[in-house]
Amino acid sequence: MGITKTEIFTEEQNTLAQFAKAIGHPARVAILQYLFKLNACVCGDLVEEIGLAQPTISQHLKELKNVGLIKGNVEGTSVCYCIDMDQWQKMAHIMTHFLNQELPKTNCC
């Protein structure tokens, strides 16, 4: 696999790409939607709700946590997850700015 050379891109470009990658899987979208729907930390098992194996859910949670969209606390033997609202707002701002760019008025293609 080739090197991505992230250092040649701006911080905003790299951040946008990381967010897009994190929400680029339907299981992660489902996890985020479930956390928003509950509007609370989830300490229970997401396996029944999402329908995937525990190791798979754990991997998706790890990816979401790595970009900061969720945060987790260890309580006893379980880990509780919730949306990191500050990071969510950051992602919303960056993606909105990117998606709201004016399309050029050209006759290209």
Residue 4 forms part of a structural domain: no
More confident residue, 78 or 12: 12
Residue 53 forms part of a structural domain: yes
Query: How far is it, in rounded angstroms, from Cα 75 to Cα 27?
Result: 24
Residue 104 forms part of a structural domain: no
* % of the chain exceeding 70 in pLDDT: 93
More confident residue, 61 or 3: 61
* Residue-by-residue DSSP string for 32-43: HHHHHHHTS-B-
Structural domain boundaries, residue 80: 9-97
**pLDDT attached to residue 1:** 47
Residue 108 forms part of a structural domain: no
39-56: per-residue pLDDT in tens?
Answer: 888 887 788 889 999 889
Residue 67 forms part of a structural domain: yes
**pLDDT attached to residue 41:** 87
What is the CATH classification number for the domain harbouring 31? 1.10.10.10
Give me 1's structure tokens: 């696999």
Query: How far is it, in rounded angstroms, from Cα 28 to Cα 87?
Result: 16
Residue 19 forms part of a structural domain: yes
52-82: per-residue pLDDT in tens?
Answer: 998 899 899 999 999 999 998 877 667 889 9
Burial 60-91 (b: 16+ CB within 10 A, else e): bbebbbebbbbbbeeeeeeeebbbbeebbebb
Residue 59 forms part of a structural domain: yes
Residue 21 forms part of a structural domain: yes
Name the domain count of the chain: 1
Query: How far is it, in rounded angstroms, from Cα 83 to Cα 39?
Result: 8
Q: How many CA atoms lie within 13 A of 74 on its CB side?
A: 2
